[in-house]
Amino acid sequence: MISRWLARAALLTLAGCTDLHLHYCHSDGNSSAVGGSAQYITIQGIADSGFQGSGYSVVAGSGAIVAITASSTHVYVAGKQNGDWLVVRLDLQGNLDPAFGSSGRVLLGGPGEDFASALGIAPGGKIYVAGSRQNATADAALVRLNNDGTVDTSFGSAGWAIFDGGSVDNAFGLVLDSQERIVVVGSSRDNSNHDHTVVLRYRSDGALDWSVLDTAQAGVNDGANAVDVDDSDRIIVSGYGQNAFTVRRFHVDGSLDGSFGNAGRFVLDHAARGATSSVAYGVRLETSGQILATGDIGTQMAVVRLSGSGTPDPSLGSGGVAIFSSGGTTGRGIALGPTGDFYVAGWTVDTMSVWGMLRDGTVRWQFTSAVAMLAYAVVFAETGSGPRLFVAATYPAPAVVALR
């Protein structure tokens, strides 16, 4: 499971790009500023020099970060370090915040190999972090932190809510709905050693409101990687099922929404696109009510747009699916801009990539690293210095990358 959580990377320098810092690089290797009109794309794909001078801030000497969110004043990331949960808060200049935890970092230890995979900030400033903790077996876990990084012991049991539904339980996605209920998604393993999608909703006091295990696809592995909610608090979950890119929608009570896709699920036909497998990672609900999800089709990065009824929307790519032809490319996180633009973070082979895209899926720019890095999550934020993208990246050390 740890290998699924964090892929291994090796040092790599792009052909024609000798600077070991992060910068925009054309596919031909020539470094340059991003051209083209900014009319329809908000972020230009340029490293933010106001963020540690280079657009790059190392948040810990070792470990990994896979989740990111931002407020108008801070950037938050979560992951692991030395088998413990790692949560970090930075200011918008990339400095560790000394008012949070120990010099900007919080480590939450347990008896085994633990990792944090998702986080969210409530309007009042409380911080929710979800992931996995090893007890007798791996359990899906949720913790609430105060604004200073201390564990909020008024939540759940001494600050924690633990779900132990199967032999191995993991949490990979988290979102707060309009009533500040916390929705956590991931996977739960049955006695036949098969994983199934699990959706958990917690009340603001940490009590489990309900849990749903999607076991409709018996005998195969399926699971959830990310989650969002719509204006009606219906729950949109991206992941995999039957070895395929899958998006599900659940009603507020946790039942599958039969009006969405095929009996509550959209499953991508990757075979029709010449692939033997596919998986969905990041998912976001657009203001139009359409759904954007990113992931892989075979060894190629893909973005899918679905209508509110769960059918492919032809406004994106070819029939609602945009596939990017570079082999070894993956899309892990997705963020929405204010004008229909969107941004995907992932990697190509072992090189971090962030793509800035127009609404129809046209790539306006691609930002890459000149050393091996893997980007797992991205967030768009309006700051006092203008709009920014913040990216959670890993290797050789966990770092946040800021783009303007």
pLDDT for 217 equals: 67
Quote the CA–CA distance of 225 and 118 in Å, as a whole number: 10
pLDDT for 400 equals: 97
CA distances from 123 to 72, 98, 176, 196, 390 (A): 12, 21, 10, 32, 20
Selecting from 3.20.20.140, 2.120.10.30, 3.40.50.720, 3.40.50.970, what CATH number does the domain 32-42+111-381 have?
2.120.10.30
Ranked by mean pLDDT, the top range of 1-10, 125-134, 319-328 is 125-134
pLDDT at 119 over 80: yes
pLDDT at 24 over 80: no
Mean pLDDT of the 291-299 span: 96
Q: What percent of the chain has pLDDT over 90?
A: 78
Q: Where are the domains positioned within the chain?
A: 32-42+111-381
Q: Which residue has the tokens 């991508």?
A: 268
Quote the CA–CA distance of 180 and 162 in Å, as a whole number: 18
Confidence of residue 20 (pLDDT cuts 50, 70, 90): very low
Q: Is the model's pTM score more than 0.85?
A: yes
Q: Find, among 377, 397, 399, the residue nearest to 118 by Cα.
A: 377
Quote the CA–CA distance of 118 and 275 in Å, as a whole number: 29
Take residue 44 and report the two structure tokens written for it: 């230009």
Out of 22-31, 143-152, 249-258, 275-284, least confident range: 22-31
Residue 275 makes CB contacts below 8 A (sequence gap 6+) with 297, 298, 300
Count Cβ atoms below 10 Å from residue 274 Cβ, excluding itself. Answer: 10
Quote the CA–CA distance of 53 and 84 in Å, as a whole number: 30
Mean pLDDT of the 91-110 span: 96
Q: 152-175: b or e for each residue (b if 16 or more CB lie within 10 Å)?
A: beebbeebbbbbbbbebbbbbbbb
Adjacent-strand bridge partners of 144? 128
For the stretch 303-335, pLDDT in tens is 999 999 999 999 999 999 999 877 789 999 999
Confidence of residue 220 (pLDDT cuts 50, 70, 90): confident
DSSP label at residue 272: G
Instruction: Output the average pLDDT for the chain.
Output: 88
Quote the CA–CA distance of 238 and 172 in Å, as a whole number: 11
Q: Find, among 228, 170, 241, 163, the residue nearest to 202 by Cα.
A: 163
pLDDT for 242 equals: 82
Out of 16-25, 302-311, 339-348, least confident range: 16-25
Residue 271 sits at φ, ψ, to 5 deg, of -60, -35
CB 331 within 8 A of CB 294: yes
Mean pLDDT of the 43-69 span: 96
pLDDT for 18 equals: 26
Q: Find, among 81, 88, 149, the residue nearest to 115 by Cα.
A: 81
pLDDT at 25 over 60: no
